[in-house]
């Protein structure tokens, strides 16, 4: 429940807080949000709000106990473990499959599936790339919470349907399209071209 109240930017600052707190000399046992804000060049109100939402408020005059703060931030960032799978094992799908940054947030990308392959093989990072015929069985045997759509737009709707039919309600879609979905599914779109186009607009 508490998690829902944390904004995406706040979530993004947790790794920065953790790096800073872990890097302090061992003699520092307590630290205030004022000091953290100053050292990281952030607004004091923002830091107080972030840490308040994540770890409760610090003690007046003393601040937070450093080890406790590290522990709560770490626990929050990892959260409950969730398994994800990818459909689409082209360059993007493979890049996502072997990307190591998801584990920090408690997300394991288990495998990628592709209808263009007929026999399972391993990615460069050693993860399974499997034919679509094995998809349903894989989902039954593993507790898959998130489906990643890494196919071209024209196949994205059928992949979305396959995820849904296999019980997956959260999807992350890299195809630049709009999908029809049942009310209880959540689709988050990641449009890389649009991101880059937005940056381009800042050319003076």
Which spans of this chain sit near its own copies (rule: CB under 8 A)?
A: 3-4, 6, 8, 11-12, 15-16, 77, 79-80, 82, 84, 90-92, 94-96, 98-99, 101-102, 104-107, 124, 145-146, 148, 170, 172, 176, 178, 186, 188, 190-203
Cβ proximity to its own copies: between 99 and 142 the closer is 99
Cβ proximity to its own copies: between 56 and 90 the closer is 90
CB of 184 to its own copies, least distance (A): 9
Categorise residue 167: left if φ over 0, alpha if ψ from -120 to 50, beta otherwise. Answer: left
CB of 84 to its own copies, least distance (A): 7
Q: State how far the Cα of 150 lies from the Cα of 94, in Å rounded to an integer.
A: 9
Q: Residue 189's Cα: distance from chain center in Å?
A: 13
Cβ proximity to its own copies: between 118 and 188 the closer is 188
CB of 100 to its own copies, least distance (A): 9
Which residues 6+ apart lie within 8 Å of 3 measured at CB? 76, 79
Q: State how far the Cα of 47 lies from the Cα of 70, in Å rounded to an integer.
A: 14
- Are the CB atoms for 97 and 150 separated by under 8 Å? no
CB of 51 to its own copies, least distance (A): 18
Q: State how far the Cα of 65 lies from the Cα of 30, in Å rounded to an integer.
A: 4
Q: State how far the Cα of 148 lies from the Cα of 109, in Å rounded to an integer.
A: 9
Cβ proximity to its own copies: between 65 and 72 the closer is 72
Cβ proximity to its own copies: between 36 and 58 the closer is 36
CB of 107 to its own copies, least distance (A): 6
């Amino acid at each position: 429940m508490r998690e829902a109240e944390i904004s995406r930017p706040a979530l993004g600052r947790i790794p920065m807080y953790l790096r800073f707190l872990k890097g302090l000399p061992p003699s520092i046992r307590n630290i205030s949000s004022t000091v953290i804000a100053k050292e990281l060049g952030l607004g004091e109100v923002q830091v107080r709000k972030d840490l308040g939402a994540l770890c409760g408020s610090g003690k007046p005059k003393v601040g937070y106990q450093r080890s406790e703060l590290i522990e709560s931030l770490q626990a929050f960032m990892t959260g409950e473990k969730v398994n994800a799978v990818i459909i689409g094992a082209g360059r993007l799908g493979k890049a996502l499959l072997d990307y190591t940054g998801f584990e920090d947030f408690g997300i394991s990308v288990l495998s990628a599936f592709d209808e263009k392959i007929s026999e399972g093989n391993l990615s460069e990072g050693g993860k399974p790339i499997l034919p679509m015929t094995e998809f349903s069985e894989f989902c039954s045997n593993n507790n898959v919470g998130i489906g990643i759509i890494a196919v071209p737009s024209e196949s994205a709707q059928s992949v979305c349907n396959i995820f849904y039919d296999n019980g997956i309600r959260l999807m992350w879609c890299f195809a630049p399209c709009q999908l029809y979905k049942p009310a209880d599914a959540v689709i988050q779109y990641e449009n890389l071209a649009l991101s880059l186009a937005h940056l381009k607009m800042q050319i003076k």
